[in-house]
Structure 1
Amino acid sequence: MTKLPGNAGVSLLGDKSLEFYRDPVSFCQQRIEKHRSRMFLCRLMNRPTAFICSVQGMRELLCEKSSLFLKDPTDLMTNMYGDTIVTTNGEEACLLRLSLTSHFTGSCLGSWSDYIASVCERCLKDLSVSGQPESVYTAFKSLGTELVLGLFLNVRAEKQPELFQEISQLCTQHWHGLISAPVNVKVPMWSSGFSIALDARNKLMDIIKDKLENDKEGFVGSLGSLPLPDSSSAAQHLLLFISALIPKALASLLNSFTLALGGNGQEKARRQAAEDPDYLCRVLLEVQRLWPPFIGGRRIADQDSTLMGFHVPKDFGVIYISHAVHRDPEVFQEPDAFLPERWSGRNEGHEHFLCSFGNGPRSCIGAKLTNVFLKMSSLHLFVSGCLHFPPVIRRRAALFPLVTMEMRSTCKYLSTLAKAAR
């Protein structure tokens, strides 16, 4: 076994979380070049952590050795959502996946198509006629919010506008608290962001429990018949499914799609994508490859193991970086170029080399739903003519609209501790 290149530094003061969060792309690229390796060691979230930036390492971690690297049971996702399919490990995670997967495939998925199409048409039809610059990310986020609240909670914006707005605002408060320092403080006239998030979660749970008790239609009605581990599991999963996390991820991908195909120089690509469903799929794969909506995923080594031939001791953290994995030159030639045709050539059938929504036995159960939504919304953007106009937005410098919640909040927390230590 080979020792990991790099070093974990000293506890707390040697932590690189702040540097990593400020610019994840440069952080990883500099160390890949320094160590001449797409796997290296740093201290992240005050834990020695192996960074994986290659397809091979990602596949080993998430597929071949997924049982050896577990979700962290102490992270903020568990704090804010409870025991869900995202946060549990072992047999419990497998049982939850078996129970919920049927609701995201087959006839259930097909039954949602009409609603998805109607939401896309209503939310996107005015983008091209206002005559003013539009924040398309905001529009796409609103579109995603309508999608998740309508599909998972039976709350439709056009039928229950007040309840829809209340839930949307609570979801936003919940999200913003998740990405703040995990400090629960309340004093007269002020509450910490995390405290506000906990209050928002409690209010959302009250709404969700009322829905579960009184609404017997659609997705929310069907959860009662599933073999879930306890009475709170259905409510916790609904909280996860309506979270601001999903609309932000969908908005990120549509935002990147708009930037990739918008403007006068992309007429041919737009026309081909609008007329050829296979080419549209390749475009969406390339958008997902170049601009993944999540920074990656984190695991904890449950025992001594190896990844890419490097020794990973028990209790080390391991994080795969989607942006770097998707630009692995061993797999993707011209890794920084937008080339949809690669998916009908050298990389045909290599969709399993992407990890935007995880990979292996713990991949996102909603990936097929996401794909349906992206295809429908893309086609509505073609029909509306929105993409004929030059994009008026700029991609964020770090390329990651989202990060894992526990990472961002811990970065801020570590910054406070480091200042105190100095």
Structure 2
Amino acid sequence: MSKLPGSAGVTLLGDKSLDFYRDPVSFYLLKLDKHGGRVFQSRLLNRPTVFICSVQATREMLCEKSHMFVKDPTDLMTSVYGETIVTTNGEEACLLRLSLSSLLTGRWLDSSRDYISSVCERCLKDLSLSGDPQCVYSGIKRLGTEMVLGLFLNVRAEEQPELFQEITQLCTQHWHGLISAPVKVPLWSSGFSTALDARDRLMAIIKDKLENDQQGFVGCVRSLPLPHSSSASQHLLLFISALIPKALASLLTSFTLALAGNNQKETRQRARTNCGYLQAILLEVQRLWPPFIGGRRIAVQDSTLAGFHVPKGHTAVYISHGVHRDPEVFQQPDNFLPERWSGGNAGQEHLLCSFGGGPRNCIGSKLTHIVLKEVCLYLLENYHWCLDPPSQDLQYKWLPVSRPNNPPTVTFTKLDQSGSDRKDNNIGTKAEK
């Protein structure tokens, strides 16, 4: 057993929260260079914290030793979302997982595919119509919002536009109030107050839906064996939050950027006709540009991670960006190489931790995969695309959800029915000159 490298600092004066939240990737890279290893300690949110950038240590924490590292019961998420599958521990978390997993992987999921396809068609069919560059992130975020409100709350943008707009605005206020708390301390009170007010208004809408809707996800979730009377409404609040559309927009923006331009034409053609290769691309996008920077747990007893002693009461934070670039597992870790998933990393998808791992992994991963694949296939089968203008600042910011600092703009060119670029449309060529 080895002592953790680094220092946990002292109360307040040794806290590194501002450094971490300002740029978490630069923060961990500097520490890795200083300590020469992928596990180290520092101080975050005024608590001694173990930072993990190693596949081995992350797997230990999330899988083999998950009972020793639990969700923080005082976490802000509990105040904002209540006692849900992502905030509870122990038996209650297990019961919630059993109930909700049966719904999200069963008949409801199969019945949702037509709606997912219809949203893709409606939101993506006119990308090339104006000939102007499109902001990919905002467009996909709108698509994601339509998905979650239609799937989880039976509110469809084309049928109830006013209610859809009201809920969208409230979800945005709720999210912005939540993320303001740990980062912008002087604004914590007003931001958090706004989030709670938006939450109360959303809960009123959700409760009305639970009382009056018999169909779809709302009708199914109300009949589940949940631990208390408010569980259904609290989970619906979680499922319609801005978190899911932003995660989808993050991954799909990265996918679009990775495959943009004439130099990626063969890659797009191969992905269009080979589902296995498309899956490899999506895994590589998730590996290099995970939507969330990582996850946080509390050690409830003395333990070890990768041979380092972790005292009871320490926070443990895994950094997905660093874990996914662990050179012990991923050769050429900074390069975009979809072929790795049919080569040296074949069958190792479980080593990615963008959506957690082990017994507490994301229960919506199958739904997320369906949506990602549907959107990507629609784009691949209908468009050629390129950055417009060609030179843009694509430097990423990593909190609260990863995406380029400056929203990139992309020009889409319609393909003909054979999957080739239309000869009468040279927008893409012009943009790349």
Q: Which amino acid aligns with 1:236?
A: Q
Q: Identify which of 211, 220, 223 aligns with 2:221.
A: 223
Which 5+ residue runs of structure 1 have no aligned equivalent? 184-190, 404-422
Paired residues for 1:90-169 under 5 Å: 90-169=90-169
- 1:136-189 deviation line (CA, Å, top 9, x unaligned): 100010000000000000000000000000000000000000011379xxxxxx
Paired residues for 1:355-374 under 5 Å: 355-374=353-372
CA contact (8 A) 1:50 1:316 kept: yes
Identity of aligned residues (%): 70
Q: Identify which of 262, 268, 291 aligns with 1:293.
A: 291
Name whichever of 393-402 and 91-100 sits farther off.
393-402
Q: Which amino acid aligns with 2:386?
A: F
Aligned-partner Cα distance in 2 for 1:7–1:396:
30
CA contact (8 A) 2:259 2:268 kept: yes
Q: Which amino acid aligns with 2:178?
A: L
Match of residue 197 from structure 1 = 195
CA contact (8 A) 2:41 2:50 kept: yes
Match of residue 343 from structure 1 = 341
Aligned-partner Cα distance in 2 for 1:124–1:171:
23
CA contact (8 A) 1:223 1:234 kept: yes
Which 5+ residue runs of structure 2 have no aligned equivalent? 184-188, 403-433
Given the superposition, is the C-alpha separation of residues 162 and 180 from structure 1 closer, same or farther in structure 2, using an over 3 Å criterion?
same
Q: Identify which of 384, 389, 403 aligns with 2:386.
A: 389
TM-score of the aligned structures, taking structure 1 as reference length: 0.92
Match of residue 411 from structure 2 = none
Match of residue 307 from structure 1 = 305
Match of residue 245 from structure 1 = 243
- Counterpart of 1:389 in 2: which secondary structure? strand
Q: Which amino acid aligns with 1:10?
A: V
Shift of 1:239: 0.1
- Counterpart of 1:181 in 2: which secondary structure? helix
Q: Which amino acid aligns with 1:95?
A: L
- 1:366-401 deviation line (CA, Å, top 9, x unaligned): 00100000000001111331x422355643433455
Aligned-partner Cα distance in 1 for 2:46–2:127:
45
Shift of 1:263: 1.1
Match of residue 413 from structure 1 = none
Aligned-partner Cα distance in 2 for 1:317–1:197:
26
CA contact (8 A) 2:51 2:316 kept: yes
Aligned-partner Cα distance in 1 for 2:306–2:278:
34
- 1:35-72 deviation line (CA, Å, top 9, x unaligned): 11100000001000000001001100000000001100
Given the superposition, is the C-alpha separation of residues 364 and 394 from structure 1 closer, same or farther in structure 2, using an over 3 Å criterion?
farther
- 1:393-419 deviation line (CA, Å, top 9, x unaligned): 64343345528xxxxxxxxxxxxxxxx
CA contact (8 A) 2:292 2:398 kept: no
Q: Which amino acid aligns with 2:302?
A: D
Superposed structure 1 runs of 4+ greater than 2 Å apart: 387-401
Shift of 1:96: 0.2
- Counterpart of 2:126 in 1: which secondary structure? coil
CA contact (8 A) 2:108 2:216 kept: no
Q: Which amino acid aligns with 2:74?
A: T
TM-score of the aligned structures, taking structure 2 as reference length: 0.89
Match of residue 378 from structure 1 = 376
Q: Which amino acid aligns with 2:295?
A: G
Match of residue 328 from structure 1 = 326
Match of residue 401 from structure 2 = 402
Shift of 1:194: 1.2
CA contact (8 A) 1:58 1:320 kept: yes
Aligned-partner Cα distance in 2 for 1:41–1:252:
29
Aligned-partner Cα distance in 2 for 1:399–1:340:
22
- Counterpart of 1:206 in 2: which secondary structure? helix
Aligned-partner Cα distance in 1 for 2:395–2:141:
16
Aligned-partner Cα distance in 2 for 1:176–1:388:
32
Shift of 1:287: 0.2
Q: Which amino acid aligns with 2:306?
A: M
Match of residue 282 from structure 1 = 280
Aligned-partner Cα distance in 2 for 1:123–1:220:
24
Aligned-partner Cα distance in 1 for 2:209–2:280:
39
Could you say which structure has the greater relative contact order, defined with CA pairs below 8 angstroms and 6 or more residues apart? 1
- Counterpart of 1:311 in 2: which secondary structure? strand
Q: Which amino acid aligns with 1:360?
A: G
Q: Which amino acid aligns with 1:114?
A: D
Q: Which amino acid aligns with 1:261?
A: L
Match of residue 4 from structure 1 = 4
CA contact (8 A) 1:252 1:401 kept: no
- Counterpart of 1:156 in 2: which secondary structure? coil
CA contact (8 A) 1:174 1:201 kept: yes
Q: Identify which of 232, 247, 253 aligns with 2:230.
A: 232
- Counterpart of 1:225 in 2: which secondary structure? coil
Given the superposition, is the C-alpha separation of residues 212 and 323 from structure 1 closer, same or farther in structure 2, using an over 3 Å criterion?
same
- Counterpart of 1:123 in 2: which secondary structure? helix
CA contact (8 A) 1:182 1:194 kept: no
Match of residue 406 from structure 2 = none
- Counterpart of 1:388 in 2: which secondary structure? strand
Shift of 1:133: 1.7
2:84 matches 1:84: yes
CA contact (8 A) 1:259 1:391 kept: no
